[in-house]
Amino acid sequence: MTNAAFDTTFFVPIVLNRAIPCDSCRLELEVGGDAHLGRTAAGWTCLCPACTAAGRVPTALTLWRPIEAAVAGLRGAASTFATNAQRVFHTVRVATRTTFRWLLAKLRGDRRAGPVAVRRAFEELGPTYLKLGQLVASSHGMFPEAYCDELRACLDRAPPFAFDQVARTLETELGRPPREIFADIDTTPLASASIAQVHAARLRTGEEVVIKVQRPGLPPLLAADLAILRFVARRLEKQRAVEMANPVGIVEDFAATLGDELDFGLEAANLDEFNRIMTRHGHDDVVAPRPVHALVRPRVMVMERFHGHRVDDVEKLRARNVDGEAKLLAGMRAWFRCLVFHGFFHGDVHAGNLMALDDGRIGFLDFGIVGRFSSERRTQITDYLLAFALGDFDGVVDVMIAMGSASSRVDRKALAQDLKTSFEPVLGGASAKYADMLPAILRTSVRHGLRLPREMVLVSKQMIYFDRYAKVLAPDLNVFRDPRIVMALAEDVMAARAFVPNEASRRGG
């Protein structure tokens, strides 16, 4: 049977497996009842037998949702399969080419053959691997130094994408042409990273802002790359030599971090939370950019613009007579208070994310990566920091066992002695470099069958950053043993632990 009103669609009799109304008379058709299904210009249409026989036209040509959902699902699965297949082929091709480059360089006696080959491969493979390269580059002491140094190139190698793509994303996400929202936008990006690009702009109200725009087409690409990395990690974990490095855990943490960074709405909430905490503790001199909430979407975030200099730009800070040591101590106190009182902290305080602002304040940027601890984990981490600062390595072992990184059957005395040997250079004076000690700490962990918890590693990374800033801003400052830092941390820990039961008793009352 055909019907011209439906653009010569064929209707076929079916038996319903779910209740659904007739698209013409709206009669509710029951499960097991007869109906006629046809494809119209507007989509799938279901008619009762009476309406079909009468040749009626539905009042609203609605899509028959189960059919459309199935078709959409199949299309999505096909697209995902195609993307994954392309990425696997491309990754294998790059890996093969990289292996040959590495072998040739080794034959020529090039000691940097491995790091250079990996860096070139990461650049060729794009955003996911550039982000992975940035992770390695910012983790001195946790990866071989040669790789950390070479992969620093990944910090500024993300190519900018065209401004017309920026404009399209803005219009899609904000629902209006950019010219209706912004008085002007600088078409040259302030920064271009693996996940997003940042442009300076001015709202029609006159307020200076920056616009953070996500790279086009990232989610399917990242999903395909992460599937490959998970496959490789599972294979590596079967090798006893790398089992304790926990490659699967590293990839899962990396995936979780990327997932958080893709949601700019989540980052805007993190900015607000940090500013609330700073206000609550009276840190008027430490701030994060204020998001313009009406202009925040999953792929776009508009926020306050900061003016100032990176915290490691010593020459410019000295030219402005900035007290680098005072700024560092204030920034560290604010960071510790977030952790100690709220179990929330900035998880990526590299120099590009920490600024000395022109108005004298300290600015924390980029809250795509944050740490969050439960009350129990917060207590354990602060116990770890205090035990470490006081040289109480028996206490450090107790915390590691409580956190599950060490078995209660571990030789506690031997582990404490090994940790003391690893940490003593750090505690000895301002000239010690914490980054140099991490390899020894990791070797100790492997020797005793430990897996360092992600939280401990994340906190340790931030301490490496602070230690690095101390070397350039205040060479005589030991961020791990300075009495001002240790006393402030101890005071905050005591206040936080008194604060929690008091809060609970007030809620109970």
Please classify residue 39 by burial: count the beta carbons closer than 10 Å to its beta carbon, then call 0-12 exposed, 13-18 middle and 19+ buried: middle
Strand order in the sheet with 2-3: 2-3, 9-15, 34-40, 43-47
Q: Quick check: is 348 catalytic?
A: yes
Report the residue count for the chain.
Answer: 509
Backbone angles phi, psi at 431, to 5 degrees: -80, -15
178 DSSP assignment: G
C-alpha span between 181 and 164 (Å, rounded): 16
C-alpha span between 90 and 124 (Å, rounded): 10
SS3 of residue 362 by DSSP: strand
β-partners of residue 212 are: 198, 301
C-alpha span between 352 and 310 (Å, rounded): 6
Closest CA to 190 of 317, 312, 318, 307: 307
Closest CA to 132 of 56, 229, 205: 229
Which of 225, 348, 366, 383 is an active site residue?
Answer: 348
Please classify residue 370 by burial: count the beta carbons closer than 10 Å to its beta carbon, then call 0-12 exposed, 13-18 middle and 19+ buried: buried
Helices (H), 212-296: 218-237, 240-243, 247-261, 264-280
DSSP string, 301-329: EEEEPP-EEETT-HHHHHHTT--HHHHHH
C-alpha span between 99 and 504 (Å, rounded): 59
> Which residue's entry shows tokens 């031997």?
414
- Residue positions annotated with a catalytic role: 348
